Structure 1
Amino acid sequence: MRQRLATLLAAATLALLPATAQASTTYPDPQPVTGRRIIHDPTVLRLKSGGYVAYSTGGIIGARTSKDRVHWDDAGNAFAAPPSWWYEYNATGDPWAPDISYRAGRYWLYYAVSSWGTNHSAIGVATSPTGLPGTWTDHGKVLTSGTTDAWNAIDPAVIHADGRLWMSFGSYWTGIRMVELNPMTGKAVQGATVHHLATRPDAPYAVEGPYIVRHGRSYYLFASYDQCCAGVHSTYKIRVGRSTSVTGPYVDSTGTSLLDGGGDLLLEGHGRYVGTGGESIFRDRGRDVLAYHYYDAEDDGTPKLGLNRLSWTRDGWPRVL
């Protein structure tokens, strides 16, 4: 009887804890996927024509397609060859961290080109009538950064908010930034303010890969914290804050600003799923789905696709299911 009473009391106590406190003790595994699972920095979208497409770092923006969000096939690359201007930023024309969206009757693909350890970087944009690989037309640079800038023009993510178009971006170099885009060209508004959304008080300010969504009356900034790209030694994890304005200030559930190192822990590595990050979010049949990569500790640290549903607590904070 005492044991049963203790169990009931423990369950009741857990139910009363904030969602963020519960989430800090256990995390769900990614939903089962099959086929071409190897991926890094995934961006996923359900196409108007049906089915799904995912683009990622690797190749000339590597592509995967799926009919059911479970089995994924290799679909080649977004482009047949790198646009010539990419070589201004690395010798191999290697693109990073794409972001796909649909707006104004077209699909838009944003991506970054850079080299490891430098902020000599650029974000580019392409459009497509179908969103499928091989149909993209590149339109050149959206935003650039150089060694004299305090930000790094990589990891783009676009959101339409209050009738205006915005792009969050950034990595290290003081963290996450945001700039307004011209909705006609999809490129940065000339002379636009570069807003500061998130950073950390400790060098090297390891926060990157932003993604912003709106839920209810608030905007939610998701970002990847700590070390990426080290296989089973990666410490990537996803944190989140929210704001009533798309340009911030963003705070976590304790009220700590993301500019002061705040951010609720949403998902981190557990078991075989190491270094969860490089996230994006997409809508599927009225529900939010979190896409990310993890490094599989049971497969030599190979990066693989993680997908989980997002739910929202009564007080408006996201939880991974």
Structure 2
Amino acid sequence: MKNILLTFLAFLISLTTWSQEYRTDIPVHDPVMIKEGDTYYLFCTGPGIAFWSSPDMVQWKREKAVFTDPPTWANSVAADFKNHIWAPDITYHKGEYYMYYSVSSFAKNTSAIGLVKNKTLNPDSPDYKWEDQGIVVQSVPGRDLWNAIDPNLVFDDEGTPWFSYGSFWNGMKLVRLADDLKTVQNGPDDWYTISRRARTFELDDRNPGDGAVEAPFIFKKDDWYYLFVSFDYCCRGVNSTYKMVVGRSKDVTGPYLDRDGKSMFEGGGTLVLEGNENWHGVGHNSAYTFDGTDYLIFHGYDAKDNGRSKLLIREMDWDNEGWPIVTLEK
């Protein structure tokens, strides 16, 4: 009888662990995550950059936004953005946290990516202070065939910083940064287009078009750089069609090829995850390794809650050929 009770108790614990691992009750768009000490910190689109903390990726506490007031330069780029800051990216480098963020007018490439730094992410620390560094890269209608939003920083094997970003237009860009992680290098070998999709009409630098690709994120695993992007459309509640695809390359600058050998520059991409009857439009992911486990962090639109966008965290496995495996479940 004792063994039966112990087995039943273990079963109940396993159910609790499963439900906690996939808890999705906090509202987020475009989430990124990092760990400092024993605490996980989550940043996402929202007023002043929404900010959460957690001891276990299960129970989340809402923290004060990164920006109480808009960045001083932001209104000169997009006067209508109202301190609603999009799609941050967070990196720890040489004793400081670097957070990139997007300021934009919706569906326009009236956009810029800024940088803000901090020595710690712990709001209770005396060293906690966000210091804005201004604009990293800016796109201007009538000048640029790309959109300066959705930033992501990655270092290659030599320690060189590379910066990807983009949404619609003529695809995802990758640029080399200087050691200050802010200054964009402008030589011919410093700029690349790493993913794009065909449009059904002529390119127009004032129209995003229908080549729906955005949210690049580069994740290094073993000998490969994996480029994740989101295809199709977000931000439409239960009508969202977002899905995540991936390609990989031995070189951070590409070309990134999908499982069938098609370049992402030519519209390629192997499906990682798409929505189901419970979660619509899953996408805008980030990817990390915490304590030896790989995770995919993304948002999805909850069909059972009027299409509200919520946090989704899934463990990421790999098949025998080195391609990511992620299960959405229910």
Task: State the TM bucket, normalised to the shorter chain.
Answer: 0.7 to 0.9
Aligned: 1:42 with 2:31: yes
CA distance in 2, matches of 1:318, 1:29: 23
1:206–1:225 CA contact under 8 A, matched in 2: yes
CA distance in 2, matches of 1:142, 1:52: 26
Structure 1 residues 302 and 31, CA, compared in 2 at 3 Å: closer, same or farther? same
Aligned residues: 292
2:226–2:249 CA contact under 8 A, matched in 1: yes
From 114, 122, 129, give the equivalent of 1:135: 129
From 191, 201, 211, give the equivalent of 2:217: 211
Give 1:80 shift: 2.0
Give 1:278 shift: 1.3
CA distance in 2, matches of 1:282, 1:96: 20
Give 1:151 shift: 1.0
From 81, 99, 102, give the equivalent of 1:109: 99
Q: Which residue in 2 is equivalent to 1:144? A: 138
Structure 1 residues 29 and 268, CA, compared in 2 at 3 Å: closer, same or farther? farther
Opposite residue 261 of structure 2, the aligned amino acid is G
Provide structure 2 residue ranges, at least 5 long, that are not aligned to the other structure: 1-17, 201-209
Say which SS state the counterpart of residue 46 (structure 2) adopts. coil
Q: Which residue in 2 is equivalent to 1:180? A: 176
Counterparts in 2 of 1:158-177, with a 5 A limit? 158-162=153-157, 163-177=159-173
Write out per-residue CA displacement over residues 234-289 of structure 1, whole angstroms, 9 at most, x where no aligned residue. Answer: 00000000011101101100001111111010010012111101111122102211
Give 1:191 shift: 4.5
Percent sequence identity over aligned pairs = 40
From 218, 224, 227, give the equivalent of 1:221: 227
Counterparts in 2 of 1:1-321, with a 5 A limit? 31-33=21-23, 37-47=26-36, 49-88=37-76, 89-91=78-80, 92-132=82-122, 135-147=129-141, 148-162=143-157, 163-191=159-187, 193-203=190-200, 204-321=210-327
Give 1:101 shift: 1.1
Say which SS state the counterpart of residue 108 (structure 1) adopts. strand
Give 1:79 shift: 1.8
2:20–2:58 CA contact under 8 A, matched in 1: no
Write out per-residue CA displacement over residues 282-309 of structure 1, whole angstroms, 9 at most, x where no aligned residue. Answer: 2210221110000101001110000001
Give 1:30 shift: 10
Write out per-residue CA displacement over residues 130-188 of structure 1, whole angstroms, 9 at most, x where no aligned residue. Answer: 12466211100111111111111100000011220001100101111100111224332
Query: Could you say what the CA RMSD is over the residues aligned between the two structures, in angstroms?
Result: 1.8
2:279–2:300 CA contact under 8 A, matched in 1: yes
Opposite residue 126 of structure 1, the aligned amino acid is V
Using the size of structure 2 for normalisation, the TM-score is 0.85
Opposite residue 44 of structure 2, the aligned amino acid is S
Opposite residue 165 of structure 2, the aligned amino acid is F
Structure 1 residues 245 and 216, CA, compared in 2 at 3 Å: closer, same or farther? same
Opposite residue 78 of structure 1, the aligned amino acid is V
CA distance in 1, matches of 2:65, 2:149: 20
Opposite residue 93 of structure 2, the aligned amino acid is R
Higher relative contact order (CA 8 A, sep 6+): 1
Provide structure 1 residue ranges, at least 5 long, that are not aligned to the other structure: 1-27
CA distance in 1, matches of 2:291, 2:181: 29
Using the size of structure 1 for normalisation, the TM-score is 0.87
Give 1:31 shift: 3.9
Opposite residue 225 of structure 1, the aligned amino acid is F
